[in-house]
Amino acid sequence: MEEKLIIRLSNNLGNQMFMYAAAYAASKKMNRTLYYDRISSYSSYKNITKFALDGFNLFEKEAENKFIFKGTAGYFKRKLLKKIDKIISKKKFILENKDKNKATYYNHKFLNENYASTAYMEGYYESEKYFISYRDEIKKQFTPKKYLNYKNNKYFRNILNTESVSLCVRQNRFLEKYGKVTKEDQINSDKFVSDQLDFINKAITYFKTKIKNPFFYLWSNDILNLRNKIQLDNVIFINNDSIKDETEKIHCDLFLMSNCKHFAVIPSAFNWWGCWLSDHKNSIILRPNNKHFSNLDIKNKDYWPLKWNEI
């Protein structure tokens, strides 16, 4: 009888990549067949994002409808089963560990638990420690299907042939939500952008001392608005708005970013993966220290790879 592991995907592309990668590694270690649930979390009217991994060459398949918790009935069934799970020995759910402050962290102990023939995995799992031992297989799966198209992108050859440095600014961090946006949300978003730009300016200064003739390429989820906010010397703003399909656009952006030689990485899952997927052997990778952002706590204590340099 086949033993299944089903990962419940949610949020945006970078988050989905963490979830899939962690589940892929777990399925190998647990000797189970991995399936992904691309439906149940996105059926909620509160969810403003969508499944985005179909632009990759994934090894594993989508779970059949009979194995997922779909719609309102599925939502309540899942809630009930998770409560029952706490008192039975053969678990149905693998849930990400959290400490008393609700911060997550790497923990592999779940691999040794006793599970039902079909087990469900939920959580963000934002640490390479979950999947680093399968790095090559995961990188192969996260190769875009439209690889050849993206190689013809107007920015690709310059990124490849220069001492390219990837920069990223995540805008509207506290504004993209279901419900009313408050004045505090706007203040927090503006402060987050300001903190990112402070980090980027420090990184630019650092790279100019370490690299001969660096070229800086900047990505943002609102590139036109960003042009109005800042003026940075020697920075090329990546604008692929000519790609009308939003999922295809973000896949192209991720591909281009991953071909840069050096990186200044902000706490953004998209930016994290753009760096992690790079094949460049002598990259300089900078990341902010854990106290840099005044109004954002990184959820996972093991979020940053140890080889990335803190500034």
Question: Do the Cβ atoms of 262 and 182 come closer than 8 Å?
Answer: no
Tokens 């790279």 belong to residue: 207
In this predicted structure, what is the pLDDT of residue 147? 92
d(CA 107, CA 110): 7
Q: Choose among 76, 63, 74, 113: nearest CA to 91.
A: 113
In this predicted structure, what is the pLDDT of residue 44? 53
DSSP string, 56-119: B--SSEEPPGGGS--HHHHHHHHHHHHHHHTT-SSEEEEE--B-TTS-B----GGGGS-EEEEE
In this predicted structure, what is the pLDDT of residue 45? 47
In this predicted structure, what is the pLDDT of residue 186? 83
d(CA 131, CA 22): 5
In this predicted structure, what is the pLDDT of residue 230? 67
Q: How far is the first Cα of the chain from the last one, in angstroms, to the nearest whole number?
A: 51
What is the model's pTM? 0.93
In this predicted structure, what is the pLDDT of residue 43? 54
| Spans in the chain with pLDDT lower than 70 | 42-48, 174-175, 177-178, 228-233
- List, for residues 231-289, the tens digit of each pLDDT value: 666 789 999 999 999 999 999 999 999 999 999 999 999 999 999 999 999 999 999 99
Amino acid at 146: K
d(CA 283, CA 265): 12
Strand partners, 62: 36
The CA distances from residue 176 to 46, 136, 186, in Å, are: 11, 34, 10
d(CA 215, CA 256): 14
Strand partners, 215: 164
d(CA 18, CA 22): 6
Helix axes 269-276, 246-258, angle to 10 degrees: 40
